[in-house]
Amino acid sequence: MIRAYEELQMNAWPALQTLCYDGWLLRYAKGYTKRANSVHPIYPSQLPLDEKIRVCESFYQNYGLNPVFKLTEASEPRDLDEVLEKRGYQYTDLVSIQSLKLTELPEPAHRELRVSSELTEDWLDQFCRLSPERHNDLQTIREAFGLPMPECCYAQLMIEGHTVACGLAVMQNGHVGLFDIVTDKDYRRQGIGEAMVIHLLRYAVDRGVGQAYLQVLIENTAAMKLYDKLGFVEKYKQWYRIKGLSQAGC
């Protein structure tokens, strides 16, 4: 189950390069998010563990990045987390992977929505306005999300013609993943985030999708409460081990 969800997430969140190495997947996207710039040890392997870690460290250091491993309780080998800790890798960003069976969904409180199946400059401009820390990653986002993708929905929630939230849904194999849901700080605590999630889920249902999933930081209590209210349940947890200072974003 964990491996299946990890594969869905990797397909939904593109990297510019993926190197397959003895059951591990080394992903690279110029430092934009840890999930696209980390080792995903999700398949069984045979080579000596110390040798493999050294090769991974060299791979990321050659790009000027700190080595990062994205881990779950199903990571291979099973003692990898302990080994990385002993090698000085720091534990960070505990994430809850949650899912929801899509049946009846409520009507969203806010109805005005703009959607596109492809990344547009308007969506990207608004997303970066709502998440100004992403301005330095604009070109990388264009490159990565310009690659062939599963079916997508780039959504903007509008109030009187003004974008107050952005979100992304990626659909594959009967599942929809929700990503990059961000609300204008001046419109928070007004049900905007909930409306965006419901819009994305209804969009997926209209296309025959029956299951949703998402990733949420455990420390993001507001988002955890929202997803609990909508009926999402935790499937498993994932976390990162990083050597050196962390790059921003899960």
Model confidence at 248, pLDDT cuts 50, 70, 90, reads low
Mean pLDDT within 42-70: 97
Closest to 178 in 3D by CA, of 155, 146, 147, 149: 155
Instruction: Give yes or no for a contact between 87 and 49, defined as CB atoms under 8 angstroms apart.
Output: no
Specify the pLDDT at position 246: 59
pLDDT of residue 247: 60
Query: Mean of the pLDDT values across residues 113-121?
Result: 97
Omega within 30 of 0 (cis) for the link into 77: yes
How far apart are alpha carbons 148 and 130 in whole angstroms? 26
Mean residue pLDDT across the chain: 96
Q: Which amino acid is at 220?
A: N
Cα-Cα end-to-end distance for the chain: 21
The reported pLDDT for the residue numbered 205 is 97
Identify the band that residue 191 occupies on the pLDDT scale cut at 50, 70 and 90.
very high
Instruction: Write the pLDDT tens digit of every residue in 138-177.
Output: 999 999 999 999 999 999 999 999 999 999 999 999 999 9
Distance of alpha carbon 88 from alpha carbon 145, whole angstroms: 33
Taking 80 as the threshold, does the pLDDT of residue 224 lie above it? yes
d(C-alpha 5, C-alpha 121), whole Å: 30
pLDDT band at 206 (very low <50, low <70, confident <90, very high): very high
Question: Taking the model in full, what pTM does it have?
Answer: 0.95
Helices (H) and strands (E) in the chain, counts: 7, 11
C-alpha R_g of the chain: 18
158: helix, coil or strand? strand
In a 10 Å sphere around its CB, with 0-12 CB exposed, 13-18 middle and 19+ buried, how is residue 134 labelled?
buried
For residue 90, what pLDDT is reported?
97
**Site of tokens 């929801």:** 100
pLDDT at site 244: 81
Amino acid sitting at position 89: Y
In the predicted model, is pLDDT for residue 189 greater than 90? no
pLDDT at 43: 97
Considering the chain, what percentage of its residues have pLDDT values greater than 70?
98
E strand intervals along 44-132: 68-72, 90-101, 113-116
